[in-house]
């Protein structure tokens, strides 16, 4: 038992000594390594800025040290300090390319990918990092013509249309309202004083016919004129006045006419020889009573407005046309109106007058349109949506679709199809604009085909701006 215990103690002592010696040796080795690194740096005469973690972790030290696993921190020298920005890709040096690899086609130059008039003899990138596009021999056509592959044309959905001569039609829109035809308005008044004894038309809005009695009135002046007529008739019958009898009779009848007495009443007095005390005042015109200012029993004074009658079988529509469109409006122009009360029943009319003043508040000009209203469905002050069918030219002019025009703010351009995927951009001078087509004053001829769809795609995918430079500067950069 004593021997076993002694052996155990000896074994434990040896193990302890081994562990202690190993730690001492490791520390000595690490220290030696750190001193060796420092000595090497000193020997190389390179300044060490700091020491970084060997695993790349965000840990640094101003003096040599080791991490938890005993690995020494790595020195960072002043000429090899790493940056903190993400690594940037490196590119091979740009060298002029004259032949595309595998194609055997010669590269003339490189153009801006956004279509700007900027070229380069070597590959480069723009400010957004986009590669310049190579222009091969044969792609840059003489005279500024653009050539695109058939595959690109099909993918872009390019469509063309022939320049044709046609009459331009432009639809102008405006708002308006129904107004009374001033020529069909009649005011009922008396030319003598009197008293109303009865009303036959006593409500506003009542429809009347010409000659229909409106009211019954007593007038002393009319009574006196009728008496003079009867006296002249009796004098003529007795031959008292002689040669002046006819003039006296005619004068008595004229006084009744001057007082507004209708011829039917004068004829009645002459035929019956009776002087009626009152007279039934007739309606002077057919129409609708829109104003009534008479009451039963009142005294009327000569000149007072008693009724206002309007014939609504024909009305006006007053449209407010924008100042910029008024040059296209002429008397006799046809217009179509849609009223909000009858949206499914458009009505046609004709422009008869253009008012001579511009409203400063709205910068619009009033245009009068005459519209037939036989059933009197259209009421005064109704709103209307007006559409003018303006023929911009009675003849025909060379036109292209509106979509064919590219407007960069300084000039208008069209792309003329030259066939086989070639397009020539041409500045054009445009004239009047219709709904679907634009007049071309100069730049293209009838029979030529112009691009109507995907014009901006061609602009983006081609060197359009560089091609346009040929119209002012025929020399292309090489």
Number of H helices, E strands in the chain: 7, 29
Q: Are residues 98 and 73 in the same domain?
A: no
Residue 84 maps to a domain? no
Residue 294 CB coordination number (10 Å): 19
What's the pLDDT at 148? 63
Q: Is residue 83 part of a domain?
A: no
The whole-angstrom separation of Cα 80 and Cα 63 is: 18
Shared domain for 225 and 121, answered yes or no, is no
Within this chain, do residues 197 and 293 fall inside the same structural domain, yes or no?
yes
Instruction: Please give the angle made by the CA atoms of 43, 48 and 53, to the nearest 5 degrees.
Output: 120
Asked whether residue 186 is assigned to any structural domain, the reply reads no
Does residue 171 sit within a domain?
Answer: no
SS3 content of the chain, % helix, strand, coil (to 5): 25, 35, 35
pLDDT given for residue 6 in this prediction = 46
- Work out how many domains the chain is built from and give that number: 5
In a domain, 43, yes or no: yes
What residues contact residue 63 under an 8 Å CB cut-off, 6+ apart? Answer: 51
Give domain status of residue 223, yes or no: yes
Residues 256, 343 within the same domain: no
> Above 90 in pLDDT, residue 26?
no
Band of pLDDT at residue 394, cut at 50, 70 and 90: low
Which DSSP category does 472 fall into?
T
Residues 419 and 366 in one domain: no
**Domain housing 269:** 191-304
Report pLDDT for 224. Answer: 94
Tell whether 387 and 418 lie within a shared domain.
no
Q: Are residues 256 and 286 in the same domain?
A: yes
449-469: pLDDT as tens digits: 888 876 665 655 555 555 555
Last-in-domain residue among 137, 153, 176: 137
Higher-confidence residue of 298 and 53: namely 298
Q: According to the model, what pLDDT value does residue 39 have?
A: 45
Q: Which two tokens stand for residue 251?
A: 């004068």
Do residue 245 and residue 299 come from a single domain?
Answer: yes
**What CATH number corresponds to the domain at position 351?**
2.40.30.170
Range with lowest mean pLDDT among 16-30, 83-97, 436-450, 456-470: 16-30
Q: Tell me the pLDDT tens digit for each residue of 172-192.
A: 899 999 999 999 999 999 999
Percent of the chain predicted with pLDDT > 70: 73
Give the mean pLDDT of the chain: 79
Q: Tell me, yes or no, whether 412 and 440 share the same domain.
A: yes
Last residue of a domain, one of 391, 420, 454: 391
CATH number for the domain harbouring residue 453:
2.40.420.20
Q: Are residues 121 and 161 both part of a single domain?
A: no
Are 216 and 279 spatial neighbours (Cβ–Cβ below 8 Å)?
Answer: yes
Q: Is residue 100 part of a domain?
A: yes
Q: Is pLDDT of 20 > 50?
A: no
pLDDT at 127: 80
313, 379 Cβ separation under 8 angstroms: no
- Domain end, chosen from 278, 304, 330, is at 304
Give the model confidence (pLDDT) of 225-283 as tens digits: 999 999 888 888 877 655 677 788 889 999 999 999 999 999 999 999 999 999 999 99
- Token pair recorded at residue 191: 């030319």
| One domain for residues 384 and 401 | no
Largest CA distance in the chain: 194
Task: Identify whether residues 360 and 410 lie together within a single domain.
Answer: no
pLDDT(205) > 80: yes
DSSP 125: B
pLDDT of residue 1 exceeding 70: no
pLDDT tens digits, one per residue of 103-157? 567 787 887 776 666 778 888 888 878 888 887 765 555 445 666 666 666 666 7
Residue range 80-97: average pLDDT? 49
Separation CA 226–CA 221 (nearest Å) = 9
Verdict on whether the full-model pTM lies above 0.85: no
Would you say residue 178 lies in a domain? Answer: no
pLDDT exceeds 70 at position 197: yes
């Amino acid at each position: 038992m004593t021997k076993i215990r002694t052996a155990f103690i000896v074994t434990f002592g040896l193990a302890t000594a081994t562990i202690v010696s190993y730690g001492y040796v490791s520390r000595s080795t690490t220290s030696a390594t750190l001193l060796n690194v420092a000595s090497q740096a000193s020997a190389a005469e390179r300044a060490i800025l700091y020491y970084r973690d060997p695993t790349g972790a965000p840990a640094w030290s101003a003096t040599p040290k080791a991490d938890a696993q005993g690995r020494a921190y790595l020195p960072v020298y002043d000429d090899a300090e790493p940056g903190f920005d993400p690594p940037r890709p490196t590119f091979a040096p740009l060298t002029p390319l004259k032949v595309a690899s595998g194609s055997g086609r010669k590269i003339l130059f490189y153009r801006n990918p956004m279509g700007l008039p900027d070229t380069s003899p070597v590959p480069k990138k723009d400010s957004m990092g986009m590669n310049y596009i190579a222009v091969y021999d044969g792609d840059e056509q003489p005279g500024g013509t653009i050539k695109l592959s058939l595959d690109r044309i099909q993918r872009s959905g390019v469509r063309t249309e022939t320049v044709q001569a046609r009459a331009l039609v432009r639809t102008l829109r405006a708002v308006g309202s129904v107004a009374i035809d001033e020529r069909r308005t009649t005011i009922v008044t008396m030319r003598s004083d009197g008293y109303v004894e009865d009303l036959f038309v006593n409500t506003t809005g009542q429809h009347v016919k010409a000659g229909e009695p409106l009211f019954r009135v007593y007038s002393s002046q009319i009574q006196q004129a009728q008496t003079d007529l009867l006296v002249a008739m009796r004098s003529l019958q007795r031959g008292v006045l002689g040669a002046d009898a006819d003039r006296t009779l005619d004068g008595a009848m004229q006084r009744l006419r001057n007082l507004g007495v209708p011829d039917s009443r004068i004829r009645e007095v002459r035929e019956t020889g009776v002087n009626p005390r009152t007279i039934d005042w007739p309606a002077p015109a057919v129409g609708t009573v829109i104003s009534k200012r008479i009451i039963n029993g009142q005294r009327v004074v000569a000149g007072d407005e008693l009724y206002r009658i309007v014939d609504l079988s024909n009305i006006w529509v007053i449209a407010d046309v924008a100042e910029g469109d008024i040059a296209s409006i002429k008397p006799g122009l046809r217009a179509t109106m849609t009223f909000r009360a009858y949206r499914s029943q458009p009505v046609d009319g004709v422009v008869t007058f253009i008012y001579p003043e511009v409203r400063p508040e709205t910068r619009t000009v009033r245009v009068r349109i005459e519209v037939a209203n036989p059933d009197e469905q259209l009421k005064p002050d109704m709103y209307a949506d007006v559409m003018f069918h303006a023929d911009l030219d009675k003849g025909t002019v060379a036109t292209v679709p509106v979509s064919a025009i590219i407007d960069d703010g300084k000039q208008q351009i069209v792309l003329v199809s030259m066939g086989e995927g070639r397009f020539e951009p041409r500045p054009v001078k445009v004239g009047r604009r219709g709904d679907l087509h634009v007049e071309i004053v100069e730049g293209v001829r009838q029979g030529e085909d112009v691009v109507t769809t995907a014009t901006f795609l061609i602009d983006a995918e081609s060197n359009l701006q560089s091609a346009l430079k040929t119209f002012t500067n025929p020399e292309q950069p090489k």
